[in-house]
């Protein structure tokens, strides 16, 4: 009798235990970790079952949504092992995942979205394809990061409503000090878009290398691209390759902002064309890391013909509205010459249909309408820019420079501005960081990665993770919703995602990573 009872007991507990192991149903959407943190998350206590039979639908009136639906299907294939079917529909489906665009619900704005997870239907609603793409990113964060391990997953039901604090959320990659090929740039774009960043600033020229083909000035790449810091072989993008980057970025709702740094940081151009030098002599190519020694000759007309050709060719390949003219650290250009040069170059940029952005030093010139200054170090320049009517892109070197070492033991990176641990990088508010520069003056936030010490993708990853998700959150999530102690817990949950994506990240001691 007793043994029989024990046996029944064992079977019942066994079945119960087995059940609770195989069917883990998450039922509280608010327990998920999202980066950037959404505006609001409400749970409704049930779950949606995602299986290999789940279909992805998009509203047929909005053709661009096909691309978003296919993107989602490809991501789900990574997780489920097979890609769900994608189809256009004119009606709200009863089950599956449904993407649609509407002009209702003003609060969402151009890039916001609402993600509703019901028991049978997941719907992503937005005003634009970009908004749907961001809803998809959030949906993907409710699922495991990795490769198929089960053939169905439960997603907790509820609603997420979300929209960004700033419209310009950016990172910069310096491809001049060390050159990075198209595939590396695409991976970098993946990093940005996963965290809802929407601009990639490419630093395409500097003393150490000219990195984009200019058909009217072919020696820029024949000579000027042939090396890099440390003397490696360098490289450049053909115009076709640059266009491929632009296209890939567009598909991920990222706009490329090209930078040609001038009048300083131009040794590679000066070495390629002697006529751009005041003394008519080409300097040697440069592979060191000093700054501030080179300048285009600001009183030769050929300089402006050169700038006009370069801006015209790049602008024609760049659908985005901004052109970055650099303008930093022109220590070997006389101040009046600098102002004269920046004034003329701004007009050239406007004549090719682009808006002007430059490092904070350009505020010393007369700024054209709609110009933006990028704050990196100098508060006076930045407030002068604001007084002249410019918007500010916030990239304080002490907070947002991804090439700064985490601490004195970091084996790559610089520390001229600061050591930037993960908490230091996260814990600041762009709208209060510079006295006199308020939210209304700010275009957005950018985290630059300079590459004097960074030579390959693994090193990029180490400096960019886990910092980049934090900068993305600073751009997306309003400051009243952010605090480090809560963020670090969410960030810790992302460790397994970084691993699944094979990202070589810095396991900072200030983040409570899971085993
Ligand atoms: C300053 S930031 C520079 C760059 C360097 C960087 C290294 C800026 C506008 N100029 O030329 O690469 O420091 O951190």
Arithmetic mean of pLDDT over the chain: 95
- Alpha-carbon distance 113 to 102, whole Å? 10
pLDDT at 3: 52
Q: How far is CA 294 from CA 22, 278, 451, in A?
A: 65, 11, 19
Domain boundaries, the chain: 24-162, 168-477+494-500
Could you tell me what percentage of the chain is helix, strand and coil, using 3-state DSSP and rounding each to the nearest 5? 40, 20, 45
Closest atom of ligand 1 relative to the 451 alpha carbon: 12
Question: What average pLDDT does range 207-226 have in this prediction?
Answer: 98
How many separate helices (H) and strands (E) can be counted in the chain?
17, 17
311: left (phi over 0), alpha (psi -120 to 50) or beta: alpha
Question: What average pLDDT does range 162-185 have in this prediction?
Answer: 98
Distance 258 CA to ligand 1 centre (A): 16
Q: What backbone torsions phi and psi does residue 441 show, to the nearest 5 degrees?
A: -85, -10
Q: Is the pLDDT of residue 245 over 60?
A: yes
Distance 514 CA to ligand 1 centre (A): 35
pLDDT band at 6; cut points 50, 70, 90: low
Distance 261 CA to ligand 1 centre (A): 11
Q: Which CATH architecture has domain 24-162?
A: 2-Layer Sandwich (3.30)
Q: What are 100-143's pLDDT values in tens digits?
A: 999 999 999 999 999 999 999 999 999 999 999 999 999 999 99
pTM more than 0.85: yes
pLDDT at 149: 73
Q: Is the pLDDT of residue 272 over 70?
A: yes
**How many other CB atoms are there within 10 angstroms of residue 412's CB atom?**
16
Asked if residue 418 has its Cβ within 6 Å of ligand 1, the reply is no
Asked if residue 375 has its Cβ within 6 Å of ligand 1, the reply is no
pLDDT band at 15; cut points 50, 70, 90: very low
Asked if residue 328 has its Cβ within 6 Å of ligand 1, the reply is yes
158 bridge partner residues = 43, 117
pLDDT band at 510; cut points 50, 70, 90: very high
Is the pLDDT higher at 429 or at 81?
Answer: 429
Angle at CA of residue 366, ends 365 and 371, nearest 5° = 95
| Percent of the residues in the chain that have a pLDDT greater than 90, as a whole number | 92
Q: What are 404-445's pLDDT values in tens digits?
A: 999 999 999 999 999 999 999 999 999 999 999 999 999 999
- Alpha-carbon distance 196 to 131, whole Å? 10
Asked if residue 450 has its Cβ within 6 Å of ligand 1, the reply is yes
Question: What average pLDDT does range 181-190 have in this prediction?
Answer: 98
Asked if residue 289 has its Cβ within 6 Å of ligand 1, the reply is no
For this structure, is 321 an active site residue?
no
Q: Candidates 229, 329, 361, 412: which one to mutate for ligand 1, based on the most atoms within 8 Å of Cβ?
A: 329
Q: Which of 68, 329, 361, 459 is catalytic?
A: 329
- Alpha-carbon distance 268 to 270, whole Å? 6
Question: Please, what's the b/e burial string for 9-33 (b: 16 or more CB within 10 A of its CB; e: otherwise)?
Answer: eeeeeeeeeeeeeeeeeeeebeebe
Q: What are 32-79's pLDDT values in tens digits?
A: 999 999 999 999 999 999 999 999 999 999 999 999 999 999 999 988
Asked if residue 376 has its Cβ within 6 Å of ligand 1, the reply is yes
CB-CB contact of 355 with 335 (8 Å): no
Among candidate residues 218, 217, 235, the one with its CA nearest the CA of residue 226: 235
pLDDT band at 147; cut points 50, 70, 90: confident
Q: What is the DSSP letter of 12?
A: H
Q: What are 459-487's pLDDT values in tens digits?
A: 999 999 999 999 999 999 999 999 999 99
Q: Is the pLDDT of residue 1 over 50?
A: no
Instruction: Tell the CATH superfamily of the 168-477+494-500 domain.
Output: Glycosidases (3.20.20.80)
CB-CB contact of 127 with 181 (8 Å): no
């Amino acid at each position: 009798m007793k043994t029989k009872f024990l046996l029944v007991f064992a079977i019942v507990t066994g079945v119960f235990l087995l059940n609770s192991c195989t069917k883990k149903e998450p039922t509280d959407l608010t327990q998920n970790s999202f980066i950037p943190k959404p505006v609001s998350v409400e749970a409704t206590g049930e779950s949606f079952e995602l299986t290999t039979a789940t279909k992805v639908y998009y509203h047929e009136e909005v053709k661009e949504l096909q691309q978003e639906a296919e993107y989602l299907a490809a991501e789900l294939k990574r997780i489920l092992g097979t890609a769900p079917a994608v189809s256009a529909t004119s009606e709200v489906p009863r089950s599956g995942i449904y993407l649609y665009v509407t002009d209702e619900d003003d609060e969402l704005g151009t890039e916001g979205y609402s993600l509703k997870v019901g028991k049978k239907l997941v719907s992503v609603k937005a005003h634009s394809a970009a908004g749907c793409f961001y809803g998809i990113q959030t949906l993907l964060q409710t699922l495991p990061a990795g490769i198929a391990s089960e053939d169905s997953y439960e997603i907790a039901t509820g609603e997420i409503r979300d929209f960004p604090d700033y419209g310009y959320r950016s990172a910069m990659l310096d491809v001049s000090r060390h050159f990075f090929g198209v595939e590396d740039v695409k991976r970098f774009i993946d990093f940005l878009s996963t965290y809802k960043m929407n601009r990639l600033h490419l630093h395409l020229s500097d003393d150490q290398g000219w990195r984009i083909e200019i058909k009217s000035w072919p020696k820029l790449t024949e000579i000027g691209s042939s090396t890099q810091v440390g003397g490696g072989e360098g490289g450049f993008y053909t115009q076709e390759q640059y266009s491929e980057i632009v296209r890939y970025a567009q598909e991920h709702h990222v706009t490329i902002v090209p930078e040609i740094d001038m009048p300083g940081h131009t040794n590679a151009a000066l070495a390629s064309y002697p006529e751009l030098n005041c003394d008519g002599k080409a300097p040697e190519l440069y592979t060191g890391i000093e700054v501030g020694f080179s300048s285009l000759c600001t009183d030769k007309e050929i300089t402006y013909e050169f700038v006009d050709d370069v801006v015209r060719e790049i602008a024609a390949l760049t659908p985005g509205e901004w052109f970055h003219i650099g303008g930093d650290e022109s220590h070997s250009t006389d101040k009046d010459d600098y102002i004269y040069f920046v004034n003329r170059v701004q007009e050239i940029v406007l004549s090719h249909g682009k808006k002007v952005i430059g490092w904070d030093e350009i505020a010393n010139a007369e700024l054209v309408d709609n110009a933006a200054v990028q704050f990196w170090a100098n508060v006076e320049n930045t407030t002068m820019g604001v007084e002249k009517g410019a918007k500010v892109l916030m990239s304080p070197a002490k907070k947002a420079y991804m090439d700064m070492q985490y601490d004195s033991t970091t084996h790559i990176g610089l520390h001229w501005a600061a050591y930037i641990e993960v908490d230091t990088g996260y814990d600041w508010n762009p709208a209060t960081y510079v006295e006199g520069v308020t939210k209304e003056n700010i275009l957005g936030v950018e985290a630059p990665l300079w590459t004097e010490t960074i030579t390959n993708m693994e090193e990029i990853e180490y400096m960019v993770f886990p910092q980049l998700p934090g900068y993305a959150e600073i751009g997306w999530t309003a400051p009243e919703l952010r605090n480090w102690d809560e963020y670090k817990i969410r960030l810790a949950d992302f460790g397994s995602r970084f691993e699944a994506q094979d990202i070589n990240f810095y396991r900072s001691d200030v983040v409570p990573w899971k085993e």
